[in-house]
Structure 1
């Protein structure tokens, strides 16, 4: 029988998947593209409210990341379904990305090019309890000249 305590592992899995090298946008690492967008917007912070409205929301606003937001909405639904957790138990999931940090984070990836970044995932249940996960590593803004494009 699933309990709301399982939502902690859902938050951790969503953060891990989001920062993964497998999170690709047009064949490039999505975190690098998000870092590039943040730099262009002259901010070090992006907030993705995955379940807000019909299509989620990113701040500062843009339509460029509508597809990965949609993909992660589906991933969340699939994860909850796989655990037997009703969708109503997880009405809010916010991913906050902080770029250009002064120091690395405790769970740095082995990829140490660029500046430290942090991904904070906060999943709030239907009772108002928050389940948080934080993961990060190093990234640099996307550049098609410095990256290889994957097939996905």
Structure 2
């Protein structure tokens, strides 16, 4: 018989996954993408409907995380089933992520401050009982730093290669000349030795 008490664990496991380092999309963690979009739009709260795979506002779910609600819809269904419960027992299920855009603290990346967040997962069964889990902490955007490091690395590599590029023809020419001179000297010595021997 399907159980409902296990939904508390489902809420906790799903929230843990959402804020974990395993939730990575393209060039940053999904949490970092959402924070970046939140700062750009000044919209601080994302809500995902786990029963229907939709999310609002759309401004916080731009590429490359536009499919985040559908991904967590699938995960939610798998967690419910593996826990021994059933979706028919669930009335609503939501994940709500809120960033405090007015508070910040330094992060390991000097130019990328951290913002406080809360992540709430709520699963309400058909009887109206709410199985909830809350997570909180601090997050910062790592994508910008990654791009800066890649750009800096490319520029450095380009600058390092350019001064050396003109050397190769001269090095090859020097090697050829050295071999040629060595060959001429060898032939001269061989001829002189052969002449004296005769």
Smaller-chain TM-score bracket? 0.7 to 0.9
Structure 2 length as normaliser, TM-score? Answer: 0.61
RMSD: 2.7
Q: What corresponds to 1:35 in structure 2?
A: 35
How many pairs are equivalent? 139
Q: Aligned ranges for residues 3-152 of structure 1 at < 5 Å?
A: 3-52=3-52, 55-61=53-59, 62=61, 64=63, 65-100=65-100, 102=103, 114-146=114-146
Deviations along 1:67-90, whole A, 9 cap, x unmatched?
221111111111111122111122
Structure 1 length as normaliser, TM-score? Answer: 0.77
Shift of residue 103, structure 1, vs aligned partner: 9.0
Structure number with the higher helix fraction is 2
Change (3 A) 1:51 1:6: same
| Mean Cα deviation higher: 55-64 or 39-48 | 55-64
Runs (5+) with no aligned partner, structure 2: 106-112, 150-198
For 2:99 and 2:90, the matched residues in 1 are separated by 27
Which structure has the bigger radius of gyration?
A: 2
Task: Give the secondary-structure state (helix, strand or coil) at the position aligned to 1:4.
Answer: coil
Contact persistence 2:3–2:86 (CA under 8 A): no
Change (3 A) 1:144 1:94: same
Runs (5+) with no aligned partner, structure 1: 105-112
